[in-house]
């Protein structure tokens, strides 16, 4: 535990030295929240949203989903692929501190980035945009499940990408279809039924739906929870199997 704490502190300092990526990860969801949360139409009850307002449903869930995806699909695998490319993982393997400890530190640190982004979304949404307070007893465990379901996808990318360029390419290839089916471009409530159903079976789409339900106090649908659980088992298992220091 002491080793993990020290490594997490070191990794956090290294991240803050080159804060461009983390700043973008935090500011992009906030920018989307403000841009989509200002129009008056999202502050009115919408029958398509079960009588809830857009500012309390698809807008905060979009912000949280983008933050989670930026970390899981981009930050985490690109950093780890860079460590492999520069031989850092190989050097760790020759010391008492194993690469697994470094992976743990990265997971904790990146989860902290997501948490900070969500807190910023919450503060700005409630204080400046009139968002209702979410149901935190449901939101918090759903966020944790999102980390468990989506971060292993980033670890799997890091396991198969030998360079940062390759990791970025894989991340982009995942991001665009995942974001589409998760309702980034068109809220899932307004999608054709077949596209919405496909989104239910994608990890990012399942997380978006789960966090949106939790935000308004509804228990996430079992299907979405099952998809995130399957992502954890499948992507996590493949990442463990194929991850190498070199």
d(CA 19, CA 71): 13
Query: Under a CB-based contact definition with an 8 Å cutoff, are residues 139 and 166 in contact?
Result: no
Distances (CA, A) of 63 to 5, 15, 122, 155, 236: 29, 22, 10, 22, 25
End-to-end distance of the chain based on CA atoms, in angstroms? Answer: 25
Tens-place pLDDT, residues 184-208:
888 888 899 999 999 999 999 999 9
What is the arithmetic mean of pLDDT over 39-68?
A: 93
Kindly provide the b/e burial profile for residues 205-242, where b requires at least 16 CB atoms within 10 angstroms of the residue's own CB. bbbbbbbbbbbbeeebeeebbebbeebbeebbebbeee
- pLDDT of amino acid 22: 77
CA angle 145, 187, 179 (to 5 degrees): 55
63 closest CA partner among 138, 133, 124, 130? 124
- pLDDT of amino acid 163: 92
Query: Under a CB-based contact definition with an 8 Å cutoff, are residues 47 and 135 in contact?
Result: no
Q: Is the pLDDT reported for residue 164 higher than 70?
A: yes
What is the arithmetic mean of pLDDT over 235-239?
A: 91
Tens-place pLDDT, residues 123-151:
999 999 999 999 999 999 999 999 999 99
d(CA 100, CA 92): 9
């Amino acid at each position: 535990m002491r080793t993990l704490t020290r490594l997490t502190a070191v990794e956090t300092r290294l991240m803050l030295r080159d804060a461009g990526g983390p700043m973008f990860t935090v500011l992009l969801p906030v920018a989307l929240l403000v841009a989509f949360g200002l129009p008056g139409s999202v502050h009115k009850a919408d029958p398509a949203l079960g009588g809830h307002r857009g500012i309390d449903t698809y807008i905060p869930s979009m912000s949280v989903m983008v933050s989670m995806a930026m970390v899981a699909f981009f930050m985490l695998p690109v950093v780890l692929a860079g460590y492999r490319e520069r031989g850092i993982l190989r050097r760790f393997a020759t010391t008492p501190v194993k690469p697994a400890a470094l992976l743990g530190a990265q997971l904790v640190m990146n989860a902290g980035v997501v948490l900070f982004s969500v807190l910023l979304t919450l503060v700005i949404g409630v204080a400046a945009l009139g968002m209702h307070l979410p149901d935190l007893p449901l939101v918090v465990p759903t966020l944790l499940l999102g980390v468990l379901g989506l971060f292993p996808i980033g670890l799997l990318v890091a396991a198969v990408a030998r360079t940062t360029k390759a990791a970025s390419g894989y991340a982009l290839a995942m991001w665009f279809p995942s974001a589409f089916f998760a309702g980034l471009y068109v809220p899932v409530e307004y999608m054709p039924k077949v596209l919405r159903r496909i989104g239910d079976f994608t990890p990012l789409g399942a997380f978006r739906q789960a966090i949106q339900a939790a935000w308004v106090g509804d228990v996430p649908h079992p299907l979405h929870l099952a998809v995130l659980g399957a992502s954890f088992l499948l992507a996590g298992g493949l990442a463990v199997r194929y991850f190498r220091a070199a």
